[in-house]
Amino acid sequence: VKKAAKPLGADLKAKLKEVFGYGQFRGTQEAIIQNVIEGHNTFVIMPTGAGKSLCYQLPALVLPGTAIVISPLIALMKNQVDQLNAFGVNAQVMNSTLTKTEANKVKRDVINGDVKLLYVAPESLTKDETLDFLQKATISFVAIDEAHCISEWGHDFRPEYRRIRGIIDNIGMNVPIIALTATATPKVQLDIQKNLQMDDASVFKSSFNRTNLYYEVRPKHQTKKALIQFVKGMKGQAGIVYCLSRKKVEEIAELLRVNDVRALPYHAGLDPQTRMHNQDAFLNEECDVIVATIAFGMGIDKPDVRFVIHYDTPKSIEGYYQETGRAGRDGLDGHCLMFYSYDDIVKLEKFNKDKPVTERDNSKLLLQEMANYADSAVCRRKQLLHYFGEVYEKDCGFCDNCKHPREKYEAKDFVKLALQAVQQTEERFGIEHLTTVLTGMKNPHVESYGHDRLPVYGRGAEHDMPFWHSVIRQCMIASFLEKDIENFGVVKMAEKGEAFLLEPYSIKFSKDHNYEEEVQQEEQ
Ligand code: ADP
Ligand code: ZN
């Protein structure tokens, strides 16, 4: 393997203009690009639509040799390669859709040094012939797109992604890696860095806050009526309605159509022509609303989507956030409305029953986080950003929970008890155990640790487990407690929590939603 030499004083901005036609870098793009060019491992965590692709495309152009881009979706690869070719860049794909002759031509071009970016599906990368040929090539660096696929703790785990590091080592490529993702909780971030052995990487994490998006959760109640009313209220503006099943997609698209909304369905069960046609109709504004399964949206760049509706409760906050992120790309307001019911959560849990155990447990956890999000009356933005590891101090004022606050209560004494429970159980347990101890429930697990003899045991007995759940979750959002990312499910003290225990102060928490009650009140 020949190692690529560094470029001399590449004028990045000129290149940006010349090839892509853009006048400015966005956010941290330039620093990231510089870092890759200097040959450092780089880890980029940036929301969808922020411009991740450029972070490896531009370095690939200025560095000698070919950049390998690993990407999980063949359709997306094709899009990017077409786009790059249109810009006059020699980018090619290597995946299972190529004929032998086509594959041979790609290999020749790469070895001759003509190709600047080679997009490879992870399953192609593991093939012997791919390995052989890559050993003969000059590789500038390896970019790993959708890097969260590496982690079992994420929402889109792909086992073959975990083999990438080994393959890079086998090829004997001593080249820098740039890993990119739009969704990663702190735990997933850690997992990615460990798996890729890039603890040394420079991490570029942009804020995930999308200030122009309004978040709203409503209970699933007369949902069809509510949907029609909402969509009609948007007066022909573009929107996406996500449903869980193909059948539901068809049904809802039809429902909207008979209500004079220009709506079309999109799901993987439609034939490719219809799918393409419906997608184009949406992009060209011949239809206003696309009703879709989550198959829709990846790689679609429509700036003026004004609303995203989740007709069914999504499977994870990661998915939810990515899907809502398709609204308001142009910076104007976007409304994100989710219909929530615990029945959906139960239904989704049943879908998981045939999965391997770890995957099933993890899916369950992601679902639980989703339910917690829906039930909580804490500022939605605060919750979402906290989920992705960001601290957002104030309430946002631009979500349903901020606009219509639930009853608040003085939480000083509850916080004190919750923190004491964590402390007295030596920061080694999860939320379930802690709420059991606080409420003084009998349980063999608690007894086997002797936790029924702790001072804090049963001190919170006048409230139920869901109440304490909510308190502990709010303690985490308020940074009194934190998840132990090394030890799954364990809740630890945070600095702010230690300080609070030394000198407790008044703090207000919100009562969780009780959607049944809210629906009843509305009906009266
Ligand atoms: P991501 O991969 O982060 O979702 P993309 O790389 O697809 O985002 O970029 C989103 C959009 O932003 C694309 O249309 C891209 O062409 C555009 N874009 C990226 N960087 C810039 C820039 N510096 N100036 C203008 N547009 C940009
Ligand atoms: Zn808010």
Pairing, β 508-510 against β 408-410:
antiparallel
Instruction: Report the share of the chain in percent with pLDDT over 70.
Output: 98
Q: Is the pLDDT of residue 241 over 80?
A: yes
How far apart are the C-alpha atoms of 202 and 231, rounded to whole Å? 44
Strand, coil or helix: what is 268?
A: coil
* DSSP conformational letter for 201: P
178 bridge partner residues: 42, 143
Q: Which ligand is nearest to the CA of 29?
A: 1
Question: DSSP per residue over 73-85, as a string?
Answer: -HHHHHHHHHHHH
For residue 387, what are its two tokens? 């989920």
Which of 55-64, 113-122, 125-134, 481-490 is least confident? Answer: 125-134
* DSSP conformational letter for 11: -
Strand, coil or helix: what is 90?
A: coil
Report the 10 Å Cβ neighbour count for 409. 12
384 Cα to the center of ligand 2, angstroms? 10
Q: Work out the angle at residue 360's Cα, subtended by the Cα atoms of residues 440 and 164, and round it to the nearest 5 degrees.
A: 125
Does the predicted interface ipTM exceed a cut of 0.95?
yes
284 Cα to the center of ligand 1, angstroms? 20
**pLDDT at residue number 461:** 97
Strand, coil or helix: what is 115?
A: coil
How far apart are the C-alpha atoms of 289 and 291, rounded to whole Å? 6
CA 71 and chain centroid, separation: 16
Ligand 1 atom at shortest distance from the alpha carbon of 48: 4
When pLDDT is averaged across residues 426-442 and rounded to a whole number, the result is 96
Specify whether the CB–CB gap between 486 and 477 falls below 8 A. no
34 Cα to the center of ligand 2, angstroms? 36
Ligand 1 atom at shortest distance from the alpha carbon of 182: 3
Q: Work out the angle at residue 357's Cα, subtended by the Cα atoms of residues 355 and 361, and round it to the nearest 5 degrees.
A: 95
| Model confidence, pTM | 0.89
Strand, coil or helix: what is 33?
A: helix
Tell me: the pLDDT tens digits for 333-365? 999 999 999 999 999 999 888 888 888 888 999
Q: Given the structure tokens 């809802």, which residue do they identify? A: 252
CA 487 and chain centroid, separation: 21
Residue owning the nearest CA to atom 20 of ligand 1: 51
Q: Which ligand is nearest to the CA of 143?
A: 1
Residue type, position 349, single letter: E
Q: Is the pLDDT of residue 7 over 50?
A: no
410 Cα to the center of ligand 2, angstroms? 20
216 Cα to the center of ligand 2, angstroms? 10
Tell me: the pLDDT tens digits for 196-237? 999 999 999 999 999 999 999 999 999 999 999 999 999 999
Residue owning the nearest CA to atom 25 of ligand 1: 22
Query: How does 245-283 read in b/e, with b if 16+ C-beta sit within 10 Å?
Result: ebebbbbbbebbbeeebebbbbbeebeeeebebbbebbe
Specify whether the CB–CB gap between 257 and 263 falls below 8 A. yes
Report the 10 Å Cβ neighbour count for 148. 25
Q: Is the pLDDT of residue 172 over 80?
A: no
Which residues line ligand 1 at a C-beta cut-off of 6 Å?
22, 24-26, 29, 46, 48-54, 301
How far apart are the C-alpha atoms of 469 and 475, rounded to whole Å? 10
Q: What burial class does residue 346 get, using C-beta atoms within 10 Å of its C-beta: 0-12 exposed, 13-18 middle, 19+ buried?
A: exposed
Tell me: the pLDDT tens digits for 92-138? 999 888 899 999 999 999 999 999 999 999 888 888 888 888 999 99
Ligand 1 atom at shortest distance from the alpha carbon of 46: 3
Q: How many CA atoms lie within 13 A of 147 on its CB side?
A: 31
Ligand 1 atom at shortest distance from the alpha carbon of 53: 6
Pairing, β 91-94 against β 2-3:
unpaired
Residue owning the nearest CA to atom 23 of ligand 1: 25
Question: DSSP per residue over 6-35, as a string?
Answer: PPSS--HHHHIIIII--SS--TTHHHHHHH
**pLDDT at residue number 10:** 53
Q: Which residues are close to ligand 2, an ion, with C-beta < 5 A?
A: 379, 381, 395-396, 399, 402
Pairing, β 42-45 against β 289-292:
unpaired
